[in-house]
Amino acid sequence: MTLPTQAIILAGGKGTRLQSIVEDMPKPMAQVNGIPFLNYIMDNLISHGIKHIVLSVGYKYEKIIEYYQNEYKGIKISYAIEKEPLGTGGAIKFASEYISEEKFWVINGDTYVDIDFEKFYIKNFQNDISLGLVKMENFDRYGVVLTKNEKISGFNEKKHTVSGLINSGIYLISKKLIDNYFPDSPVFSFEKEVLEVFFDKINIGFFETSGLFIDIGIPEDYFRSQKLFTNISDVKSIFELDSSWTIFLDRDGVINKRLPGDYVKNPSEFIFLDDVKKVIKKLSSKFNHIIVVTNQQGIGKGKITQIDVDTVNDFMLSEIVKEGGKISKIYTCGMLAGTDNCCRKPNPHMAQWAKNDFPDIDFNKSIIIGDSISDMEFGKNLGMKTILVDGKEEELIKHAYIKVDWRISGLFELI
């Protein structure tokens, strides 16, 4: 049984609800970990044998064409350019003119679905259309898809639902469906004017997946996507790395709670984040070196002294040792940003100091774990792997445009 090798991605949306947090661009081009969301969708399709992708584009389509040109990772790309919005149905109808196979896939350009294409097809290849469904709990953003006897039996409007199946935005469609049931009008809604009108007349099936589903249509889920998509695809845990790797840690916001608008001036203000001591104990039992590198601009501003910082660091070390962990060394830069030959991250000075003290450190076998863009740039400047701790709300938007290897909510996620 041969699976369809062609897919349409509906990538013409403006992303009105995202315009406040992303640049003026088509929604599928919103940056997730420094690359377009559309990349993740196409990577998923390619992994399932897709050989030709048709991008149905409209709003700011020039940006998509400029970025991808006519191929992506050796896969042919065609463009169905809407001169005016056609609706989801009109877009599918128009883009299907670029499809040569009788059956093909259609995917929403603002949703990622981890689904088994082969099982989907085997179950539904005889249907005129089949929907990929995802089970969801406690939601009100989506309507509910009703099923009976392995067929779709109806659709409920959006309302708060405790548990139900939703349309994931991935379809297996036949040309016969388009010929027999699509309106003559060039502009129409696929969901409202085809699915909901003809579901009891056409041969319609479904395939349910429990895999990852992410819709970046609203800011909350867009930010959530930053953590769900990572770039170290072959390493599920840093503890799979060999012991020769070095771990560099930022301090405030990673090891201890930040003081918004202030600096930790004494041990009484130093509060460990959840499970940090436990994590550092495990890290130090695995890796040769755990190095702390911390910008402390408060020294340069006259808000704290080097003695204050050293006292706090000594307290931190003693508590970590009590837990059974160890830190090889702590490096601090108290210089003001913009100072000549500044040692502050993202400049590499503190890493170079560490290598002078511990010559076995290899930056290409090192990881920086921090909560700021400067931490990530510090690591990238030295060839390190990067792990971003999401927590500084004021930098959430900027973080979306930084390509990092992992995103975590805190060190506790490492174990």
The active-site residue out of 250, 371, 375, 405 is 250
- The answer to whether 13 and 23 have CB atoms below 8 angstroms apart is no
| Percentage of the residues of the chain whose pLDDT score is greater than 90 | 66
Amino acid identity of residue 284, one-letter, is: S
At residue 158's C-alpha, the angle toward residues 157 and 160, to 5°, is 125
Q: Tell me which H or E stretch contains 93.
A: helix 87-95
| Closest residue by Cα to residue 31 from 195, 193, 229 | 229
Query: Is 274 an active-site residue?
Result: no
Output the pLDDT for position 233: 45
Query: Is 250 an active-site residue?
Result: yes
pTM reported for the whole predicted model: 0.67
Give the pair of three-digit tokens for residue 71: 């191929």
Name the least confident of 6-10, 40-44, 339-343, 399-403.
Answer: 399-403
The active-site residue out of 110, 252, 371, 375 is 252
Give mean pLDDT, residues 189-215. 90
- SS3 state of residue 173: strand
Express each pLDDT in 240-254 by its tens digit: 788 899 999 999 999
Query: 190, exposed or middle or buried, with CB in 10 Å at 0-12, 13-18, 19+?
Result: buried
Name the residue with tokens 């030295």: 382
| Percentage of the residues of the chain whose pLDDT score is greater than 70 | 92
Question: CA torsion sign, 174 to 177 to 179 to 182?
Answer: negative
Express each pLDDT in 330-363 by its tens digit: 999 999 988 888 999 999 999 999 999 999 999 9
Helix ranges, 96-195 (H): 117-124, 175-181, 190
Express each pLDDT in 25-66 by its tens digit: 888 998 887 788 999 999 999 989 999 999 999 988 999 999
